[in-house]
């Protein structure tokens, strides 16, 4: 078995329009904060259709693509970047499976969602897509550089 060494990574996490409207932004932020991840960037945005189609370009051929885009256009999205050990894989684990009915209890989707088409959050699925998504959603200026002394209690 080939196990990857844990490394400090950045991941793009977004609260989708349904999550924002249901008042789950604070809950989702709190889980990443409490786990020990470092908040690098955060904004509430209403992206264009073009922006969302590029974000989901790998899914362009899927039958659910048009409904996914209109779902993502249904309201503002809380976009964020979190940094820390294994942030991509652990971030996905914290969100839970894409289909909320298959998500473990204790995950964000497992606790707050029941439908794939309304699964309240997004998380990058690899370091490569995280880097792509971070630069798609944020400018270099919006990626904050700061020292958080609390990190020394976590690592
Ligand atoms: P995400 O990118 O949002 O974190 O989701 P994911 O990687 O877990 O899932 P992916 O397959 O990339 O799908 C992206 C989003 O499209 C919606 N979806 N609907 N069968 C369907 O109706 C269907 N399948 C996927 C979900 O909102 C999913 O998160």
Q: What is the pLDDT of residues 78-107, one digit of tens each?
A: 999 999 999 999 999 999 999 999 999 999
Q: Could you tell me if 12 and 124 are in contact, meaning their C-beta atoms sit under 8 angstroms apart?
A: yes
Backbone angles phi, psi at 49, to 5 degrees: -60, -45
Cα distance between residue 65 and residue 11, in whole Å = 23
Query: What ipTM was predicted for this assembly?
Result: 0.92
pLDDT digits (tens, 9 = 90+) for 2-61: 677 899 999 999 999 999 999 999 999 999 999 999 999 999 999 999 999 999 999 999
For ligand 1, atom 17, the nearest C-alpha belongs to 117
Query: Which pLDDT belongs to residue 139?
Result: 98
Cα distance between residue 71 and residue 92, in whole Å = 20
Query: Which pLDDT belongs to residue 117?
Result: 98
pLDDT at 1 > cutoff 60: no
Sequence-distant (6+) residues with CB within 8 A of 139 are: none
Answer yes or no: is the C-beta of 84 below 6 A from any ligand 1 atom.
Answer: no
Answer yes or no: is the C-beta of 64 below 6 A from any ligand 1 atom.
Answer: yes
Other C-beta atoms closer than 10 Å to the C-beta of 121 total 24
Q: How many CA atoms lie within 13 A of 44 on its CB side?
A: 10
Tokens read off for 40:
């690098």
Query: Which pLDDT belongs to residue 5?
Result: 87
Which mutation among 89, 98, 100, 115 tests ligand 1's pocket best, with the greatest number of atoms within 8 A of CB?
Answer: 98
Query: Which pLDDT belongs to residue 4?
Result: 77
CA of 97 to the centre of ligand 1 (A): 10
Other C-beta atoms closer than 10 Å to the C-beta of 42 total 16
CA of 62 to the centre of ligand 1 (A): 10
Answer yes or no: is the C-beta of 98 below 6 A from any ligand 1 atom.
Answer: yes
3-class DSSP assignment, residue 48: coil
Sequence-distant (6+) residues with CB within 8 A of 86 are: 6, 7, 9
Cα distance between residue 64 and residue 59, in whole Å = 9
Q: Could you tell me if 25 and 88 are in contact, meaning their C-beta atoms sit under 8 angstroms apart?
A: no
């Amino acid at each position: 078995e080939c196990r990857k060494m844990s490394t400090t990574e950045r991941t793009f996490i977004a609260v989708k329009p349904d999550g924002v409207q249901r008042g789950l932004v604070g809950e989702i932020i709190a889980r990443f904060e409490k786990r020990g991840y470092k908040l690098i960037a955060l904004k509430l945005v209403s992206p264009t259709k073009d922006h969302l189609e590029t974000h989901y370009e790998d899914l362009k051929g899927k039958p659910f693509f048009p409904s996914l885009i209109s779902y993502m256009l249904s309201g503002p999205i809380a976009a964020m970047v979190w940094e820390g050990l294994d942030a991509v894989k652990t971030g996905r684990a914290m969100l839970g499976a894409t289909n909320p009915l298959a998500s473990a209890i204790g995950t964000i989707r497992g606790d707050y969602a029941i439908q794939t088409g309304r699964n309240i959050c997004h998380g990058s699925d690899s370091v490569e897509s995280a880097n792509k998504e971070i630069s798609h959603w944020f400018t270099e200026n919006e990626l904050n550089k700061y020292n958080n002394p609390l990190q020394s209690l976590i690592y």
